[in-house]
Amino acid sequence: DSGVTQTPKHLITATGQRVTLRCSPRSGDLSVYWYQQSLDQGLQFLIQYYNGEERAKGNILERFSAQQFPDLHSELNLSSLELGDSALYFCASSVARDRRSNYGYTFGSGTRLTVV
Amino acid sequence: GQQVMQIPQYQHVQEGEDFTTYCNSSTTLSNIQWYKQRPGGHPVFLIQLVKSGEVKKQKRLTFQFGEAKKNSSLHITATQTTDVGTYFCAGTQKTSYDKVIFGPGTSLSVIP
């Protein structure tokens, strides 16, 4: 157990639907990151939150949104789902706020999303 | 934007052989991290290199950070079946926050 909790582990849904993925960071970590990993693909950075605020944005589609709540858990919302959105979605957390104190990410076990 | 590349994409080795994966960034990095993802698992942080020319060892794994802080390598001596997985390098751009850009990874297969 890495200390980063992601739910659900598996999700199967139809095209056009909306889903919410949940992440609880490791205790003490203020930053949460979302990554998408498609089959045989690398890790595509989606978005980062630090202590409730959006910190950085990557290749996140307009159909996707995220937020971090006061208790530091984060949710990734995926809407108008398409077949191509099928992927593993990882959440990671770290204590770092900036590049001078980057100690590495702790990843959750991921949510496998299948769009049919 | 910043790109991080890795070669090779795949590597198959006989157990006991050595393995090296190389990572190159299009921009100078403030640090580089290495992660390992076992099949069906999640990425696990291995190490971070910060200084130009830095070399760190973890048992059979040797990590290097280039003098120009734009490239890095991971070398595994005498591979074992437990080394199977995908190895990702991840670089932090000097001008950004702690956003880390992952390379595409090198998938290592070890033939017993």
User: What's the pLDDT tens digit per position in A64-90?
Assistant: 999 999 999 999 999 999 999 999 999
Enumerate residues 6+ apart whose C-beta is below 8 A from B48.
A102, A103, A104, B31, B32, B33, B34
Picking from A115, A111, A95, the residue whose alpha carbon sits closest to that of residue A46 is A111
Asked if the C-beta of B10 comes within 8 angstroms of chain A's C-beta atoms, the answer is no
Q: Which amino acid is at B97?
A: Y
φ/ψ (deg, to 5) at A48: -130, 140
- How far B4 CA sits from the closest chain A CA (Å)? 11
**Measured CA angle at A115 (ends A74, A3), to 5 deg:** 30
User: What's the pLDDT tens digit per position in B24-51?
Assistant: 998 899 899 999 999 999 999 999 999 9
Q: Which of A26, A99, A107 to mutate to test the interface with B (most CBs of B within 10 A)?
A: A99
Q: Which residue has the tokens 């006061």?
A: A70
Q: Which amino acid is at A95?
A: V
Mean pLDDT of A41-60: 89
